[in-house]
Amino acid sequence: MITLLKPTILDAAALAGAESAHHLATVLRTQWTAFWQRDPTTVVADMQEDLQQTLAIFALNNQAALAVNALLDAVNDPRFCNRAPTDLPANWSFDGQTFTYNEPISDIPDPDIEP
């Protein structure tokens, strides 16, 4: 006969917290991806329209991401592998006043162009 252990109330609470943190990390990543996958010109215009609000939102999202990632790292459970992004995506930079997108450089020649 297989005996299944009944989790304690503390175990159940820890699992619920880890599931919630994992969900928050997933939501943060989904929204981060949706925001940055738009046309770079549109993204820059949106951010520069109200730079102070943009920076405040980014700071709060980063604070949440760092906290939820630390919690998930502490739980160290492979079921909860999502982490919230904490950095700008590749090819983006911020100099303290302006966001900039730098087009990636491709070393692969266009197949339609003959050498």
Q: Which positions ≥6 away from 67 have C-beta within 8 Å?
A: none
63-110 confidence digits (pLDDT tens): 999 999 999 999 999 999 999 999 999 999 999 999 999 998 876 666
CA–CA dist 50, 61 (Å, integer): 17
Contact (Cβ atoms closer than 8 angstroms) between residue 84 and residue 24: yes
Q: What is the pTM of this model?
A: 0.80
pLDDT of the residue at 108: 63
